[in-house]
Structures are given as C-alpha cells and as structure tokens.
Amino acid sequence: QKEVEQNSGPLSVPEGAIASLNCTYSDRGSQSFFWYRQYSGKSPELIMFIYSNGDKEDGRFTAQLNKASQYVSLLIRDSQPSDSATYLCAVKNYNQGGKLIFGQGTELSVKP
C-alpha cells in the first residue's frame, strides 16, 4: 500500500464545473495536509494546506479533511483552463521529522 494515494487521471472537466481531487493516506499519525499544483515542466506550487477536520476555503479552492477516514480532497469551483495541471497531495507527520510524503499526483484537464 502506498503511503499517499491519488488517482493519476487524467481528470477532465468542462470549464465552469467543479473539479474534485481525492487523496488517501496510510499514516494515522499525519497532522498536516497540503495540496500543490504543478504545471508541466515547473516546480510544485503550494495552493492549500489544512490541519483540522472539516473544510477550509480559499477563493475557488476548498480543502476537505477527514482524519477518521484518512481522506483529504480538493475542490476547485468554476474551473478554468488555467487550472489544468497536476495536483499533488502531500502529508506530514512531524513526529517523523516533518518530511512531506507525496502522492503521484492527479492530472487535471479543464476543457473550454
């Protein structure tokens, strides 16, 4: 079992729709959860982080965390073609030194 799992995609949504990206993790001791966006040929860019169960909203982005189910998701409302990228989920257990464990990423394609 991978430590952090994501569907590799590609996930294709029409412009204006809601894109839903999902991630599960195996370490129950994980405390911090991050979503990074990575455009092709570029480095990962932090877009959201969440520490507590529930929802966290930032503009068109909402991160959702359910520690009991070991599940974290990212919703992108009103998807735009510029949102087309690979989205990386990462988790951190600071009792393990604080390193980020990344999933393989989900490729999102937003069609005009």
Partner 1 sequence: EAGVAQSPRYKIIEKRQSVAFWCNPISGHATLYWYQQILGQGPKLLIQFQNNGVVDDSQLPKDRFSAERLKGVDSTLKIQPAKLEDSAVYLCASSPGTRMGEQYFGPGTRLTVT
Asked if residue 39 binds partner 1 (CB under 8 A), the reply is no
State in angstroms the smallest separation of the CB of 90 from partner 1.
7
Question: How many residues in the shown chain lie near partner 1 by CB under 8 A?
Answer: 26
State in angstroms the smallest separation of the CB of 88 from partner 1.
5
Asked if residue 105 binds partner 1 (CB under 8 A), the reply is yes
Sign of CA dihedral 91, 24, 67, 17: positive
The structure tokens listed for 93 are: 């257990």
Q: Which of 80, 81, 99, 111 binds partner 1 (CB under 8 A)?
A: 99
Gap between the Cα atoms of 1 and 8, Å rounded: 15
Gap between the Cα atoms of 15 and 29, Å rounded: 37
